Amino acid sequence: MDEDERALSPEETLRLIEQQGAAAVHRLMPNPVPHYLAWGVAWFVGFGVLFLHHGLAGTPYAPIPIGVALALLFGLMALAMLVSALTMWQLGSPVRGVSQERGVMYGFAWSFGFFAMWMIAVRFGGHLPDPERNLLWASLSMMVVAILYMAGGAIWLIRPMFVFGAGLAVLNAVGTAAGPGWHALLMSVGAGGGSVAAGLVLRRRLRR
């Protein structure tokens, strides 16, 4: 009998099943690193510029117009949403059925969530002074992101994703209560830095 045709032992069979299962997961699951890095850079840079505009005590640390700071923040967040959409497309493209439908609906939730946030901010922002209006836009956007992170973690049973979303919700609430400067600082360092760190850790694990 040829060596390749001999019956595999139970240990070899189990090892082969594990290897094939790991290969299938690697092939079907999208790489989450670009998602975390894109959002991390968007928050770290965007809220960092917003922090320099506000300052902790209401005195700007740099002469950055608020229009430029907000345009940079939401522009970077729009790019991060595009990266997330591509990640969700990678998740759904090789899979049909419930998993694909779940991914598509979750992707639409981001779009509808930010649309609702935009409508609310436009409706009530005009009645607030400039610093509070800027805080309204920033805090609402982060609330949408935090809720969607927790929802994604619950849908796919990804505990770190849920925990990260819960952490964003807490940081967002604390920063909103503390004021525009503190909110921008917490979002830049906590949310942005935390997301970049998570992306780098994931990339290191995937390379092993």
Could you tell me the residue ranges of all domains in the chain?
34-207
- pLDDT score of 94: 47
> Residue 26 is encoded by which pair of tokens?
């690697």
48 and 192 Cβ atoms separated by less than 8 Å: yes
Cα Rg of the chain (Å, integer): 21
pTM beyond cutoff 0.85: no
pLDDT tens per residue across all 208 residues of the chain: 444 555 656 666 556 555 554 444 444 455 678 888 899 999 999 999 999 999 998 899 999 998 899 899 989 999 998 887 777 666 554 445 566 677 778 878 988 999 999 999 999 998 999 889 999 999 999 999 999 999 988 988 888 889 899 999 999 999 999 999 999 999 999 999 999 888 887 777 766 6
Neighbouring residues of 91: CB distance < 8 A, sequence distance ≥ 6:
28, 29, 30, 99, 103
- pLDDT score of 86: 78
DSSP one-letter code for 190: I
Distance, CA of 77 to CA of 96 (rounded, Å): 29
153 and 160 Cβ atoms separated by less than 8 Å: yes
Looking up tokens 């849920």 gives 162
Closest Cα to residue 88, out of 134, 151, 174, 143?
151
> Residue 58 is encoded by which pair of tokens?
């209401």
- Quickly count: other Cβ atoms within 10 Å of residue 151's Cβ: 16
- pLDDT score of 136: 95
- pLDDT score of 107: 79
